[in-house]
Amino acid sequence: MAVYTEVDDEELIAFLATYELGPLLSCKGIAEGVENSNFFLHTGAGSFILTLYEKRVDENDLPFFLGLMEHLSARGLTCPQPVKNRDGAALGRLAGRPAVIVTFLDGYSVHHPEPTHCAALGEALAQLHLAGEGFTLARSNSLSVAAWRPLFMPSAARADEVEPGLRALIGAELDHLESHWPEGLPQGVIHADLFPDNVFFIGETLSGLIDFYFACTDALAYDLAVCLNAWCFDAGHRFDPARAAALVGAYGRRRPLGAAEIAAFPTLARGAAMRFLLTRFVDGLNVPPGALVKPKDPREYLAKLRFHRAAPADAYGLPT
Amino acid sequence: MAVYTEVDDEELIAFLATYELGPLLSCKGIAEGVENSNFFLHTGAGSFILTLYEKRVDENDLPFFLGLMEHLSARGLTCPQPVKNRDGAALGRLAGRPAVIVTFLDGYSVHHPEPTHCAALGEALAQLHLAGEGFTLARSNSLSVAAWRPLFMPSAARADEVEPGLRALIGAELDHLESHWPEGLPQGVIHADLFPDNVFFIGETLSGLIDFYFACTDALAYDLAVCLNAWCFDAGHRFDPARAAALVGAYGRRRPLGAAEIAAFPTLARGAAMRFLLTRFVDGLNVPPGALVKPKDPREYLAKLRFHRAAPADAYGLPT
C-alpha cells in the first residue's frame, strides 16, 4: 500500500481539464498497489482511480498494460478501463509522472477465500485468458525461470539467515526447474500476480480484477499455478485440496487444459512458488528505511514449495 | 496520512450489518488524518468514511468529538456527520478499536490559498463558533498556554539543534505568553486545527470542514489566530496581509470581534505560532522508525512567531 506522490490541487484541476469528466469533486490517496501512487477520484462524471506511475514501473511497458486493460474490458472482462482524454490518449503526465485515470470498480478483497471464491476466480482467470486472444502487443515475463538464478545469486549468501540450508535448497530447486521447465505450452496474456488483493468480490460474486502491472505473455497454465499458490493454502500455509479442486475445476470448464499443460502443472506450481519465494526473499533484504510496505515473509512460499516438491500428481484436482 | 490498521472483510461485513447502510461494495484505506486509520467506504446507501481510532486518541474524548459533529451538522455546518447503527449508537468497535462511520464530504484541500479562500474560511469559522453555542459537552484545550512549558522542557536541550539560540528564544517567549495570556475572552467550541488539510473546497466554494479531533472549549478568537497562522503566510513563510484581511474581515462580518478580543489578538497569534512550533519540534525529535508521516519543519512556525513578535498592531486587518 502506498501513496508516494502528493498531487497539488491546481495541477490536478488542470490535468482533469484535459478530460471530459466534469469538475473535480474529491481526490484522496488510497492504500492500494505497491508500485504506484493511487487516488480515489470523484468528478462530475463519477468515480475513478487516478494512478501515478513511480520509478519501479518501466514507462515503456505502459502501452502494453493500458492496451491490455482496454482490450480485456472491450471483451467483457470486468477490469479497470483506461479513460481517454480529449486528445484520445489514455496516458498523460501529472506531478512529473506518467498518469492514467481508470474506471472505479466496486468490490473488496477476500481475506479467507472459500472454495466458492476459488471457483469464481478460476472462471475469471479462464475468461481473462480467452479474452486476451487477439491482443497484439507482447511483453516477455521478466520474472520467469531464466530470471530466477540471476535474481538469487547476488543475495544467495544470506539465504541461510531465513532458514539454515535454504541456499542449498534453492540451488538444487533451480537446477531442477531449469532442466525441467516446460516449453511449447499454450501461450497468451497472463496476469501473473492474481493474488487475493487483486481480485474484488461483492459477497461471493467476483466483481473485477485489478493491477495488471505484472501482466505479460507466457504459458497460460503458469497463471493458474500462480493462483493455486496464492489462493489454495490456508493461513498456516497448509494446502487446501477443496479450494484447489474448485479453482482448477472451474478454470477447466471454461478453458479445458490440454494434456501437456496437465503434465507440466506440478512443475509450474513449483516454479510459481519459487518465483514468489525469491522476490520476497530479495525484497526483504532491500527494504528501504522508512518504507511504507511491510516486507512479506518468504517462508510462506518456502512452505508452499516444499508442499509441491512432495505432492502426488493427483493433489491438484487436475483432470486425469 | 495513515492507514495503521487493516480490516478483515468478514469483520467489516459483520460490523456493517449493525447499520442500515445496505451491503458492502468497497472499502479502501485512505491517506487522510494522522491520528487514525481512515477508509473510503462505499455501501448500498452511498459513500462514507470509516474511521478506526488508534491509540493517540483518548477514547474518553470520543463522545465530545462525535457529539460535536452531530451538533454542528444539525445546525447547518457542513462537516462529517456520524451515522448511527440500528441501536442508535454512533460509536462501535471494529478490529479491536473504537470505530465510527461518518458521511462522505466532497471537496479537496487547497495548497495555495487565495484571499477568496481565506474569506470563505473566515465565514465558515464564525459559522462554526456560532453553531457551537448550546453544545453541552466541554473539553479543555490540552495544548494551550499551560501545556507549552511542560511540553518543551524535556526536549529543551535539543532546541538549538533546530537553530542556535532557539532554546533561549522559546524560554523568553514562554515567559511573555504565560504572563500576558488573555483571560475572560468569549469562550466556546473551537476547531483548534483548521489547517488547509482540514478544509475542503470545490473551486472557490468551501464545501466542508473535517477532522475535529483537536476540537475543545477555548477562546473563540484563538481559533481565528490558529487559522491566521495556517492560512495567511506564503510558501516562503512571509505574511500575506491580503489573505489576513480577507480572513479576519469575513469572520468579523459573521461574528464581530469584541474589543477585548481585538486587543488580545496579537498575543493569541504569538501563542498559536508557539503551539505549532512546539508540537512540530517535539514530534520531529520523536519520529518512530518506519513512520508513515514525514515530520513537519518547526522552523516554519519559528518564522511565523518572529513575524508576530515584530508585527505592528494593525498588521492583521482587525477592526480599529
CA B119 to chain A, closest CA, distance in angstroms equals 19
What is the mean pLDDT of the segment spanning B130-155?
97
**Last residue in a domain, options B51, B79, B103:** B103
Crossing angle of the two packed helices A62-74 and A115-131, in degrees rounded to 10: 100
B225 and B80 in one domain?
Answer: no
* B30:A30 CB<8 A: yes
Amino acid B320: pLDDT = 83
B256 and B197 in one domain?
Answer: yes
B291 and B150 in one domain?
Answer: yes
Whether residue A4 lies inside any domain: the answer is no
Q: Chain A residue with minimal CA distance to B110? A: A9
CA A110 to chain B, closest CA, distance in angstroms equals 6
pLDDT per residue over A252-268, tens digit each? Answer: 999 999 999 999 999 99
What is the mean pLDDT of the segment spanning A84-102?
96
B-chain CB neighbours of A104 within 8 Å are 26
pLDDT per residue over A14-69, tens digit each? Answer: 999 999 999 999 999 998 766 789 999 999 999 999 999 988 788 999 999 999 99
Whether residue A125 lies inside any domain: the answer is yes
pTM for this predicted structure: 0.92
Amino acid A254: pLDDT = 98
**Last residue in a domain, options B103, B138, B169:** B103
**Last residue in a domain, options A42, A68, A103:** A103
CA–centroid distance for B241 within its chain: 22
In three-state secondary structure terms, A42 is strand
Whether residue A32 lies inside any domain: the answer is yes
Whether residue A203 lies inside any domain: the answer is yes
Closest by CA to A273, choosing from A219, A237, A235, is A237
B263 and B162 in one domain?
Answer: yes
CATH number of the CATH domain containing A217:
3.90.1200.10
* A110:B9 CB<8 A: yes
B-chain CB neighbours of A26 within 8 Å are 104-108, 200
pLDDT per residue over B76-98, tens digit each? Answer: 999 999 999 999 999 999 999 99
B306 and B180 in one domain?
Answer: yes
B175 and B139 in one domain?
Answer: yes
CA distance A89 to B41: 31
Whether residue A110 lies inside any domain: the answer is no
Number of CB pairs, chain A paired with chain B, less than 8 A apart: 84
Q: Whole domain around residue A59: which residue ranges?
A: 9-103
Asked if B218 and B147 count as a contact pair (C-beta separation under 8 A), the reply is: no
A99 against A290, higher pLDDT: A99
A-chain CB neighbours of B105 within 8 Å are 26
Amino acid A320: pLDDT = 84
* Residue A3: band (very low, low, confident or very high) from pLDDT cuts 50, 70, 90: low
> Hey, which residues does A172 pair with through a beta bridge?
none
* A31:B106 CB<8 A: no
* A42:B107 CB<8 A: no
Whether residue A307 lies inside any domain: the answer is yes
> Hey, which residues does A216 pair with through a beta bridge?
A190
Q: Which of A9, A12, A30 sits opposite B28 (nearest CB)?
A: A30
Amino acid A163: pLDDT = 94
B214 against B4, higher pLDDT: B214
Q: Is the ipTM of this complex over 0.85?
A: yes
A281 and A221 in one domain?
Answer: yes
* A9:B289 CB<8 A: no
Residue partners of A186: CB distance under 8 A and separation at least 6: A219, A220, A221, A258, A261
A-chain CB neighbours of B46 within 8 Å are none
Whether residue A3 lies inside any domain: the answer is no
CATH number of the CATH domain containing B87:
3.30.200.20
Interface test with B, best of A4, A8, A15, A30 (most B CBs within 10 A): A30
A-chain CB neighbours of B203 within 8 Å are 23
> Which chain B residues have any C-beta within 8 angstroms of a chain A C-beta?
1, 3, 8-10, 12, 23-32, 40, 42, 104-112, 200, 202-203, 289-292
What is the mean pLDDT of the segment spanning A125-145?
97
> Hey, which residues does B92 pair with through a beta bridge?
B99
B87 and B143 in one domain?
Answer: no
Amino acid A1: pLDDT = 40
Whether residue B109 lies inside any domain: the answer is no
B121 and B88 in one domain?
Answer: no
Q: How many residues does chain A have?
A: 320
**Is 50 exceeded by the pLDDT of residue B1?**
no
CA A103 to chain B, closest CA, distance in angstroms equals 14
A130 and A61 in one domain?
Answer: no
pLDDT per residue over B166-213, tens digit each? Answer: 999 999 999 999 999 999 999 999 999 999 999 999 999 999 999 999
pLDDT per residue over A231-250, tens digit each? Answer: 999 999 999 999 999 999 99
A304 and A236 in one domain?
Answer: yes
A206 and A145 in one domain?
Answer: yes
How many domains, in total, are found in chain B? 2
Q: What value does the mean pLDDT of chain B take?
A: 94
* B26:A106 CB<8 A: yes
CA distance A48 to A51: 10
* Residue B133: band (very low, low, confident or very high) from pLDDT cuts 50, 70, 90: very high
Q: Chain A residue with minimal CA distance to B207? A: A25
pLDDT per residue over A300-309, tens digit each? Answer: 999 999 999 9
Q: Which of B8, B28, B291 sits opposite A32 (nearest CB)?
A: B28
**Is 50 exceeded by the pLDDT of residue A270?**
yes
Burial of B274 (0-12, 13-18, 19+ CB in 10 A): buried
Pair type for strands A46-53 and A205-209: unpaired
Amino acid A145: pLDDT = 97
CA distance B213 to B191: 8
